[in-house]
Amino acid sequence: MMTKLTTVTATTNWKQVMTTNRGTPAKRHKHPASGARILATGISMASVLGLTSAYALAAQHSTSALASDSGALTPEITQPAIPIFNTPVTAPTLPGPATPATTATSATPAITAPTVTPTIKIKTPKKTRSATKSGGSK
């Protein structure tokens, strides 16, 4: 099986995204054709907003709490008409165990986990492994 490995390192930087929207406003043209284009743009934007609303409705019916696959930004409306606050404010999941490597690799013979608590010694990382790091530098 061919597999492709992609690693992306990115900083989550708001400024880089927003700078493209801050140009000098273009001078208005009053030619009827421009008006038609503006009208067409208005219809187009309304369509996009309609899709965004549809997404919002669909997302809340999703069975997976972590599955809202959308690039939509926050809706502009800040004052909702009549909210109905009857949703339980509880997390969609509870804490549970991860899957260790020995459990998931079915082709590998079962390995009995050591029953003694391991002694951990501070050591330098191996250079040959491709590992993801979890540390307190966040």
Partner 1 sequence: MGNTAEVTVVGDTGDGGDFAQRRLTVLEHLWSRFIPTSDISRLNMSRGEPISVHPDTITLVKYLVSAHAFSNGYFDPTLLPTLVDLGYGASRSDASKSSILPANLPSLTEPLSRTLVDDISNVVRLPVGLTFDPGGLGKGLAADIVALELIRRGAIGACVNVGGDLRCVGDGPNDGVWDIDIESPFDASITIAELAVCNGGVATSSTRAKRWSTRRGQFHHVISPATNEPLIESENAPVQVTVIGAEAVWSEILATTILVAGASEGVSLASQSQLGVLVVLNNGEVIPNSHWSEFQR
Which residues in 43-102 contact partner 1 (CB under 8 A)? 56, 59-60, 64-75, 77-80, 83-87, 89-102
Residues ≥6 apart with Cβ < 8 Å to 100: none
Instruction: Please name the residue that has the structure tokens 């690039």.
Output: 71
- Indicate the burial class of 78 (C-beta count within 10 angstroms; 0-12, 13-18, 19 or more): exposed
Give 28 or 99: the residue with its C-beta nearer to partner 1: 99
Rounded least distance, CB 10 to partner 1, Å = 5
Six-digit token string for 9: 């390192």
Contact 110, 101 (CB under 8 A): no
Q: What residues numbered 97-126 form the site for partner 1, per CB under 8 A?
A: 97-105, 113-114, 117-118, 120, 122-126
Rounded least distance, CB 25 to partner 1, Å = 20
Give the contact letters, 10-39, x = binds to partner 1 (CB under 8 A), - = no. xxxxxx-x----------------------
Q: Please pick, from the candidates 7, 20, 21, 24, the single residue that binds partner 1 as defined by CB under 8 A.
A: 7
Contact 51, 75 (CB under 8 A): no
